[in-house]
Amino acid sequence: MRSSNNFDHAWRLPQKGILLPDDEVHTWRASLDQPPSRVRGFLDTLAPEEKERAQRFHFQKDRDHFVVARGLVRTILALYLNLEPHQLGFRYNSYGKPCLVEEINSSNLRFNLSHSRGLALFAITRGRELGIDVEYIRPDVAEEGIAERFFSTREVAMLRALPVNLQAEAFFNCWTRKEAYIKARGEGLSLPLDQFDVSLAPGEPAVLLDTRIDLEDISRWHMTELAPGAGFAAALVVEHRDWHLRCWQWTE
């Protein structure tokens, strides 16, 4: 699996009447920090079970971020489906990966989302599975022995061979690529994180280097790095290679 260089990293404002050809993957970037009136607007689009889940967050900020993320995923998917956001229905696999209910999804849309520190990324395509992950780069986390605990032996060796000043970015490159891969496969943390290796050095392409889970994954999944903004690392993993990426900035 090679990294994709076939896209332009700029996050553009979308035009009206957005189209999604079969060979495109669209990523959307959005801030979860929205004014109260807009949070209320998003809340109105949610299903009762999503509203109940929102109520379970202890802190208002976390509750609002959940509501905005759910409202946005509905709003963005509705653009492609020519529906109203509240008309969408979701179901979940046994590991929690959401997808659209079949009754409204004759065009076979697939999506995934990730959020960190108030920034959300959404990825949408047709007829192929995908996973996306974004993380805010926290140098203290990169130093805490988490790599030694969760990454593969090869990844830890690659990470610790880098100059110390590159290790935080490399750590989060590794983290987001691993998460995007397990999210694309949809099996969550039931997949053993040390049983596959991803590239991680800053400036080098995002690649699934090896996997002891399923050898066919090397050709099945295509991995690419995303550039969501200063201080963040992000990765996208999509089935097959015959696709192009377009990056959109969400705006009201």
Given CA atoms 88, 92, 97, 102 in this order, what sign does their dihedral have?
A: negative
Give the torsion sign (CA, 140, 143, 146, 151): positive
Closer Cβ to ligand COA, 175 or 248, answer by number: 175
Task: Report the nearest approach of ligand COA to the CB of residue 176 (Å).
Answer: 8
| Interface residue with ligand COA, options 122, 172, 175, 243 (CB under 6 A) | 175
CB of 137 to ligand COA, least distance (A): 14
Residues near ligand COA (CB under 6 A), total: 22
Site membership for ligand COA, residue 178 (CB under 6 A): yes
Min dist CB 133 to ligand COA, Å, is: 5
Q: How far is the CB of 96 from ligand COA (least distance, A)?
A: 3
The span of 7-15, 159-167, 174-182, 236-244 binding ligand COA (CB under 6 A) equals: 174-182
* Neighbour count for residue 116 (Cβ, 10 Å): 21
State the Cα torsion 147-168-172-230 to the nearest 10°: 170
> By CB under 6 A, what part of segment 60-119 binds ligand COA?
69-70, 95-98, 112-115
- Tell me if 46 contacts ligand COA by CB under 6 A: no
| Contact predicate 174/83, CB 8 Å | no
CB proximity list for 52: less than 8 A, separation 6 or greater: none
Q: How far apart are CA 207 and CA 116, in angstroms?
A: 23
Examine residue 173 and tell whether it contacts ligand COA (CB under 6 A).
no
Determine how β-strand 208-211 pairs with β-strand 130-136. unpaired
Strands (E), 137-231: 196-198, 208-211, 221-226
Q: Residues 188 to 207: which contact ligand COA by CB under 6 A? A: 188-189, 193
Report the interface residues with ligand COA, using CB under 6 A. Answer: 69-70, 95-98, 112-115, 131, 133, 150, 175, 178-179, 182-183, 186, 188-189, 193
